Chains A and B, each alone.
Chain A
């Protein structure tokens, strides 16, 4: 049976009710302030951090999480089939996409990787007797977004490795995945799972949120800007993962044989809805013929990727958005702009090359925008313009271009230190420590050391 909640065994469970849909039996928690407040009171406790005895905890947690990761990469656990059915129905993503998503979330969670991350945290925290380095929170309230299933997995694992009590509020749009992952963890190592909980309630049910906020938790909010702003008004202890997007910077002359398949994969994964999805491919060239060839090759790769990573359910609203985005480019081309528009017969995928791309307008649903950029300097000016919103940048450049670009990109004191630096084909499978690029998250996991 799937549940929209996970409560550790040593706590009283909330009342629940079962229902059936799409052949899957669900159990939903019936939450109330009267249950949630005493639960949270008991749940709050000092973190393990790097206190006495922490090493044993960390070893145990790293081992348990690596075992869970192994199970989930291969979807070898009792509820896997039911979970896939539920996720397909809830998210509209195809089974192929969901299986790939699980592989990507867990690909880099081997025990040694988790141990290395902990060692890095320990090192970053500095001398043992530094007083500031002891202040791990006694409760993290993590609010998960619903657009990408599993968006909260990496942060939850990191908090768990540090033994920080973490209460996750699942998105109503996708309440099952994290609850199921925590159930897996509890089977492997109940003690580690005892500091994690996941519950689900709609964002507008404020009494439940207020019940948590009364404990003055450290907040980690994944969501739209409105959600983050709403919590910012309530607490200063907040790490926000809001409206961000990613780009690819690619040279048509780079020696990268799989570049088209890689870019098609990055664009199609999660239907381009995540912050790691490329909103545009900056193509380093001023030669329109190269742009056309590149676009055609990418269109061919998108056709192939459509078969490899099938589309699940695309709603009329999503189809309408694609038609409107295409219609805008048709009109711009009619007005004389140099635009190449390549599309599938339906709304499956779109490749458009245009001399100007408006990154303030976000696209999704396999809509690849190619933006020819004549020089590295022009590319840098675009990156600077969007530096606050950039989540990751994937690059594939010639050797000469690499030598020109990275010294500027890595220039000391630029805001680009917050951006995940990656490669085409890897944008959607970030390494385990990718969130450490976020300064606020870094302060949280390193116990608020000022950097």
Chain B
């Protein structure tokens, strides 16, 4: 994947900041409150960030909201409003999705048998994960790729058949799902005393979000159970970090064909950043940028967020380097978010 050096990234980031300052009226106001305008900003790190909470309050767009062709909602709890991310086009979202997935997850394959245990756009049009899963299926899925997740719940028998067929054909599969949906399947398979030995080069990608809700297990235990249930070694267990407020996703993947300086660890996966994204950690007390590798709240600069706001202040604790982050977790006590909430609601209702 093409790399940007810091100078190239800085140039693009400042151009996008100037554009968003000019076209996004609310973001313009946010910047003015801090006296931070394109005239005074020369380094991408100083570009003002909006909090993820702002997406619950106001439409942050560089275009009239009525022109939005897609609106992705965060998974709100019963007491909380959900946030909304408006898109004038999904071209940037899809381009970012394709490039990252192809490089970090799919290589060396061009297509695979993708089996989804999470929302798809057909049933969940306001889910960014749904858009991502459907896009991946259309772009990278073979003719037997399918979704086993709907408002009715997880279709475990159908998934079981798909896995059996793949094993019979010795065709590697790629299971993609929310951690809760994967847990639900594993629990059912465990009750049935059923285990699989998936063909070599099969993979599983989970989108996280298994902490704080009905199910609480460590990542190591989760991976151990995945490995046991599906007969796979840990290097084929991948993790995605993304959020509705962004257009890019980050992957913890030992399968990347890039020459990376660090490999994910079992307990704290390191997620690699595509070249159009930079992340810094900030001190939660004063929101000052911390040196590389110090733990703080992650602030993400995503150049694929063209028509909203590029700089997002998250609630996630972690460490950041130029091309990767180490996610320590959502700051405990912060509102539960993420697609696993949607999954759990469906699993509970099923």
Chain A contacts to B: CB under 8 angstroms:
314-321, 323-328, 330-336, 345-347, 358, 360-362
Contact = CB atoms under 8 A, between A and B. Distances in A.
A315 B333 contact: yes
A332 B57 contact: yes
Contacts of B30: 330-331, 334
A320 B79 contact: no
Interface centre among B53, B287, B313 (most CB of A within 10 A): B53
Interface string B31-55: 0110000000000000000111110
Nearest to A316: B284
Given A328-B57, A334-B29, A345-B286, A323 B51 contact: yes
Nearest to A341: B33
Nearest to B31: A334
A317 B333 contact: yes
B286 to A, nearest CB: 6
A327 B33 contact: no
A324 B287 CA distance: 11
B333 A318 contact: yes
Contacts of B296: 316
A363 B194 CA distance: 46
A346 B287 CA distance: 9
B94 interface: no
A319 B284 contact: yes
Interface size class of B (residues with CB under 8 A): 20 to 34
Contacts of B27: 334
Nearest to B52: A324
Contacts of B327: none
Contacts, number: 97
A293 B241 CA distance: 45
Interface of B: 25-30, 32-33, 50-54, 56-58, 60, 79-81, 284-287, 295-297, 313, 315, 317, 331-334
A333 B33 contact: yes
Nearest to A320: B331
Contacts of B29: 333-336
Contacts of B54: 327-328, 330-331
For the complex of A and B, the 6 pairs showing the least CB-CB separation, nearest first, are A327-B51, A334-B29, A331-B54, A317-B331, A319-B284, A324-B53
A333 B317 CA distance: 27
Nearest to B328: A316
B284 A325 contact: no
29 contacts: A315-B333, A316-B296, A317-B331, A318-B333, A320-B315, A321-B315, A321-B331, A321-B333, A323-B51, A324-B52, A324-B315, A324-B334, A325-B53, A327-B54, A330-B30, A330-B51, A331-B54, A331-B58, A331-B60, A332-B58, A333-B33, A334-B29, A334-B32, A334-B33, A335-B26, A347-B284, A360-B80, A361-B79, A361-B81
Contact of B287 (A323, A360, A361, A362): A323
B50 A321 contact: no
A345 B81 CA distance: 28
Contacts of B80: 360-361
Nearest to A326: B51
B53 A328 contact: yes
Given A316-B297, A320-B297, A334-B29, A327 B50 contact: yes
Given A346-B285, A346-B286, A327 B315 contact: no
B314 to A, nearest CB: 9
Contacts of A328: 51, 53-54, 56-57
Contacts of B25: 334
Contacts of A347: 284-285
B57 A320 contact: no
A316 B33 contact: no
A336 B53 CA distance: 17
A350 to B, nearest CB: 13
A358 B56 CA distance: 12
B284 A327 contact: no
Contacts of B79: 360-362
A317 B80 CA distance: 18
Given A323-B287, A330-B33, A335-B26, A316 B331 contact: yes
Contacts of A324: 51-53, 313, 315, 334
Contacts of A315: 331-333
A138 to B, nearest CB: 35
A279 B297 CA distance: 26
A80 B338 CA distance: 44
Given A324-B51, A330-B51, A360-B80, 14 more contacts: A316-B284, A317-B317, A317-B334, A320-B334, A323-B313, A324-B315, A324-B334, A326-B51, A327-B51, A328-B53, A333-B33, A334-B28, A334-B29, A347-B285
Nearest to A347: B285
Interface centre among A314, A319, A347 (most CB of B within 10 A): A319
Contacts of B332: 315, 317
B310 to A, nearest CB: 15
B66 to A, nearest CB: 16
Nearest to A331: B54
Nearest to A243: B79
Contacts of A345: 286
Nearest to B333: A317
A321 B334 contact: yes
A345 to B, nearest CB: 7
